[in-house]
Amino acid sequence: MNSSTPPAAPEGHGSPYTAIVHFHGMGSQRRYEEPCRLVDSIDRYLSHAFHDRDQNLGRLVGIKPVQEPHRQREGEVVTYIRTEHLRGRGQQAGGGEVRVYECYWAPAMAGSRSPIGIAKWMVAQVLRPIYSMLTPWWERRRLRESMLLELRQCPQNWPEGVTDGDFDRMLRLYARFMRVREVREQGRGYYRHFSALIARGLKAHPEVEARMQRLARAWWWHAVWIELRNAFVLITLLLLLLLSAGGIVWSILRLLDLFAASASGGGPLGTIASLLGDRIKPTLGTALTLAASLASLIGVSRFLNESMGDVQAWATYAETDTMFERRHQVLDMGSDIIRHVLADPACTQALISSHSLGTSVAYDTLSALSLHNRAHNRADPISGPVPLDKIRHFVTMGSPIDKIHYFFGSQRSKVHSYISVLENFTINTGAVPFARNRKPHLHWVNYWDDADLIAGALHSPVGQGDGAMGVDDVHVQNYGFPAPGKSHNAYFHNRDVIGGLFRMAWLNQASYGNLPLLANHGGYDYASARLGPGLPSGQRRGWTLLALALPWLGLTALGARVAGAPQTAVTLGLAAGLGLALLVIAWIASLWRGNLKPL
């Protein structure tokens, strides 16, 4: 348990090595690009650290691609990026070979999809907070529990007298609530019925009952606040989209009017207008056609088709949907590459790394492999048939796992046991491979940036009971300005993220398998392996609030113009323009400064 170097490979199976299996994100990805980016980032990190006398971490040598026969599929080959780490002066840990594999799942998502259909699907998600608030309290169990866990991480919001242990008691009460027959048979699954169950169950302990009622109310209000916040953000984004599209169409109409007026006036504009004829006739249909062409030209259609199309296909859980086949193929690809890597006796330990939508692909792949092992080896499912015990770290960057669960991960049914069955098919941090023999085994480290709209701290995968650990959320700040797109793609350029990856994969640090014992037989010091919480979040909240306010200022200005108050409309328009100018200046300054933690 105390060794920081990987164990030796079995005799006769070659030199031992550590494997990294990387799951790329959504969009049009190129084969081998993401593992090469990962190795290059590690190499740059070490090159800079090499010149720092206090951080002589060694260097990478022998970086090259290698092909080997696929251990699961006859006749196929697998390519990996091989590199060797040379230790720095005085460095005890590290050294040896590391192989970086890739789960390249982009081909399964290839194919023509309708950008308009995807856009309609995205707009429909605006109603999700309203739907969620109207569902009974017993439904969407993982979502409710994740909200309670989020509240648990904010002691400043706890009611008076509530302790950390009360959250565990509340989770047990909620689990009991899910099992009550009247909840599922008589429609008594709302919050008021949960409150009544607390009163009945703790009537012999009035002080405890009062404390738990306060915590239950705080939980309910926290859930309501989250839903209202989500609804506001989604409606604001939809409003921004509508105002932007409307503004573009209006501007095109004005230009078409200008061309039409110039057709009879001669000059260059008149010549162009006469040549184009009815094709630039100033009608709404023409403006919409030109706006769609402009959207395609600047990449909007490509973004919808490739990136959001991947999300739509991946988030299709219904097996009766034709897109479910794409999801099934992706899971097969992930399972194949992990099986191939772990089947090599020379692979002594492994790290799963992932980015963006690939984090959900990797998580669900581990779930599928865990269920497979559980069916074939109930006594010790982590050890085989797929040796998942070799995986020591699971690293996610910019993960949308909680958001995917929020929008798409809950199923409704009048058959209560059906919901329970589905819950058992989803692993959490208290199950294999994250726990072994009721002790933590696989360390899940999640890097996230609160400027990244896709990412967030992860609560929905957290399990309960012995061996369960929360996801080790590490907040990073990639840029000084909350630029969502840039922040989402900047994790590979952040030295805190890359440094953490290097220490986990190359030095086997932050592992639950090499921890010191606590005094007085208190078990292992799991807290010492955790890397979070990272930097404080919310430091750029002012810019975010300003950005959210601008669409509403624009809508109010438009309403004032329609209502016949031009002066008010001009004032509000100027305020919106000033706010937009401030955002643009701050954004440009942030880009000029670059990543706050560069390699």
- Give dist(CA 500, CA 483) in Å, integer: 23
Q: Which residue has the higher pLDDT, 479 or 314?
A: 479
Does residue 120 fall inside a structural domain?
Answer: no
In contact, 483 and 593? CB cutoff 8 Å? no
User: What pLDDT, on the 0 to 100 scale, is given for residue 254?
Assistant: 81
User: Same domain for 220 and 238?
Assistant: no
286 confidence band (pLDDT: 50, 70, 90): confident
Using alpha carbons, select from 396, 488, 475 the residue that is nearest to residue 434: 396
User: What pLDDT, on the 0 to 100 scale, is given for residue 518?
Assistant: 80
Q: Is the pLDDT of residue 155 over 70?
A: yes
Mean pLDDT computed over 539-544: 91
Does residue 510 fall inside a structural domain?
Answer: yes
276 confidence band (pLDDT: 50, 70, 90): low
User: Same domain for 406 and 436?
Assistant: yes
2 confidence band (pLDDT: 50, 70, 90): very low
Percent of the chain with pLDDT over 70: 87
User: Same domain for 265 and 402?
Assistant: no
Does residue 300 fall inside a structural domain?
Answer: yes
Does residue 367 fall inside a structural domain?
Answer: yes
229, 257, 275 - which closes a domain: 229
Mean pLDDT computed over 505-514: 90
User: Same domain for 354 and 492?
Assistant: yes
Measured at the CA of 246, the angle between CA 261 and CA 290, to 5 degrees, comes to: 55
Q: Is the pLDDT of residue 342 over 80?
A: yes
Tens digits of residue pLDDT in 413-469: 666 677 667 777 778 888 899 998 888 999 999 999 999 999 999 999 998 877 888
Q: Is the pLDDT of residue 259 over 80?
A: no
Domain span at residue 278 reads 233-307
User: Same domain for 184 and 258?
Assistant: no
Mean pLDDT computed over 148-163: 92
Neighbours of 262 (CB within 10 A): 17
Q: Whose structure tokens read 């909240």?
A: 541
Does residue 115 fall inside a structural domain?
Answer: no
* Peptide bond preceding 385 in cis form (omega within 30 of 0): yes
362 confidence band (pLDDT: 50, 70, 90): very high
User: Same domain for 214 and 239?
Assistant: no
295 confidence band (pLDDT: 50, 70, 90): confident
- What does each C-alpha distance from 370 to 101, 347, 437, 511, 542 come to in angstroms? 20, 19, 14, 20, 43
Count the helix, strand and coil residues of the chain and give each as a percent rounded to the nearest 5.
55, 10, 35
Supply the pTM of this predicted model.
0.91
- What does each C-alpha distance from 538 to 287, 451, 477, 480, 542 come to in angstroms? 41, 9, 10, 12, 8
Q: SS3 for 400?
A: coil
User: Sheet holding 17-23: strands in order across?
Assistant: 59-69, 77-86, 96-103, 17-23, 347-355, 391-397, 443-448, 472-475
Does residue 536 fall inside a structural domain?
Answer: no
Q: Is the pLDDT of residue 336 over 70?
A: yes
Mean pLDDT computed over 184-206: 86
User: Same domain for 400 and 485?
Assistant: yes
- For residue 451, give the DSSP letter: T
User: Same domain for 447 and 351?
Assistant: yes
User: What pLDDT, on the 0 to 100 scale, is given for residue 29?
Assistant: 83
- Give dist(CA 86, CA 548) in Å, integer: 49
Mean pLDDT computed over 467-480: 92
- Give dist(CA 437, CA 356) in Å, integer: 31
User: What pLDDT, on the 0 to 100 scale, is given for residue 266?
Assistant: 55
Q: What are phi and psi of 138, to 5 degrees?
A: -80, -20
Using alpha carbons, select from 377, 344, 465 the residue that is nearest to residue 19: 344
- Give dist(CA 449, CA 195) in Å, integer: 36
Does residue 598 fall inside a structural domain?
Answer: no
- Give dist(CA 70, CA 351) in Å, integer: 19
Residues near 164 by Cβ (< 8 Å), separated by ≥ 6? 152
Q: Is the pLDDT of residue 221 over 70?
A: yes
Contacts of 481-486 with C-beta under 8 Å, sequence gap 24+, read 481/451, 481/540, 481/543, 481/586, 481/587, 481/589, 481/590, 481/591, 482/450, 482/451, 482/540, 482/543, 482/544, 482/547, 483/451, 483/587, 483/590, 483/591, 484/451, 484/452, 484/453, 484/454, 486/591
Q: Whose structure tokens read 């639950």?
A: 512
Measured at the CA of 529, the angle between CA 523 and CA 531, to 5 degrees, comes to: 145
171 confidence band (pLDDT: 50, 70, 90): very high
188, 204, 229 - which closes a domain: 229
The domain that holds 442 is classified in CATH as 3.40.50.1820
- Give dist(CA 254, CA 260) in Å, integer: 10
User: What pLDDT, on the 0 to 100 scale, is given for residue 1?
Assistant: 40
User: Same domain for 509 and 569?
Assistant: no
User: What pLDDT, on the 0 to 100 scale, is given for residue 75?
Assistant: 86
480, 504, 529 - which closes a domain: 529
- Give dist(CA 419, CA 500) in Å, integer: 38
Residues near 486 by Cβ (< 8 Å), separated by ≥ 6? 478, 479, 591
Tens digits of residue pLDDT in 60-97: 999 999 999 999 888 899 999 999 998 877 677 777 89
User: What pLDDT, on the 0 to 100 scale, is given for residue 179?
Assistant: 80
Neighbours of 116 (CB within 10 A): 11
DSSP element (H, E) containing 212: helix 206-262
User: Same domain for 196 and 95?
Assistant: no
User: Same domain for 555 and 524?
Assistant: no
In contact, 22 and 353? CB cutoff 8 Å? yes
- Give dist(CA 475, CA 457) in Å, integer: 8
User: Same domain for 251 and 215?
Assistant: no
Mean pLDDT computed over 244-259: 82
In contact, 160 and 214? CB cutoff 8 Å? yes
Q: What are phi and psi of 99, to 5 degrees?
A: -115, 130
Amino acid letter for position 115 = P
Q: Is the pLDDT of residue 53 over 60?
A: no
389 confidence band (pLDDT: 50, 70, 90): very high
Average pLDDT taken over every residue of the chain? 86
User: What pLDDT, on the 0 to 100 scale, is given for residue 352?
Assistant: 97
Does residue 317 fall inside a structural domain?
Answer: no
Question: What is the number of structural domains in the chain?
Answer: 4
User: What pLDDT, on the 0 to 100 scale, is given for residue 542?
Assistant: 92
